[in-house]
Structure formats: C-alpha cells, structure tokens
Amino acid sequence: MPKIVELDKKINDIDLKLKKKIRQKRIREIKENKLKRKQRAIHLFILGNIIKSAGFDLEEENILLGYCLSFKELKGLILDKFKIRGMQVLAEKKIAREKKIENFKNNFYENVSYENKSSKKEFSRMVKIGAVFEMAGIDNVELSILVGFILDFGTKNDFDKTYFLSLAKGWKKGKK
C-alpha cells in the first residue's frame, strides 16, 4: 500500500512539473506574440506616416491600395527615380529632426511642459493607413523608394485614381 501512495505522489509531482512547463511555454509565446505585434504596429505606423507626410492620408483607402498594388508593375529607372527622390526627402527630414532635437536641448527648461501631440487614436489611424502597404505586399520595400513612390501619387489625375480604385476592387474580389 505505501508503494501505491508513493507512486501516486510521484505522478502528482510529475504532473505539476509538466503543467508548470506548459504554463511557462504559454507565457513565453504570449510575450513573443506581443513583441511581434508591437514591432508590426510600429512598422505600419512608419509606413502610414509616409502617406501622412505626403499629405495623402485623407485620400480614400481603396485608391491608395490600388496605387500601392500598381507598384509591382514598376521596374528599373522609375524605381531609381523614386529612390533618389525618397533619399532626398528623408535626408531633409533627418536634418529638420536634428535641428528640432537641438533646439529642444538648448531650450530644455522652457520645454519641460512639452506635450506629445500624438494620441492612441492617431497612432491607430497611421497603422491602418500603413496597412495599405502590407495588403499590397510592398511593406518591406526600401523606405526611400516608398517615399518617392508615394510622393508621385500627387501627380495622378482622376482617371488614374479611378484605375487604382478598380485595381483595389479586383484585388478584394480575388481575396474572397
């Protein structure tokens, strides 16, 4: 009889260890998923900010999606043109950002009450806009090329926008 009790105790100990390992694994997976989701959200926020900085954040999402879907048709020199334009814009923004940081440092005591104008709602909006790049499958294209590409959207007329809208509708029908 004592052997049965002893075996039962060992089984319970092994069962507790197994449950503890399973719980630790689940916690680790939750943390990893949370980190991946956070990294994805930040990436999409950056992409959404490209569209916002270019001034097209109020454009209809389907038109932007269609425009991004048209990116795959582009080749060669056009991409190089976008890259050069994007690199120029990014360099200008970097200089402006560094000036802003320097001014903030120089006037630190005056800027102590500095408020971050960004809100959760705005962050979510930028992530949603940035998801257009992800849906089109161009979210991992070089940032400078995407900047130049989005800036080129300003040269498009209503006929082009209708074409982009039809691309988006065709893409959505293909997804269903």
**Per-block average pLDDT, block size 10, for the chain (176 residues)?**
81 90 94 94 92 90 92 89 93 89 74 60 90 92 92 92 91 79
| Continuous H helices in 55-76 | 61-69
Length of the chain: 176
pTM, full prediction? 0.75
Q: Residue 64: CB partners within 8 Å, gap ≥ 6?
A: 51, 56, 129, 132, 153, 164
Q: Looking at residue 92, what is its pLDDT?
A: 92
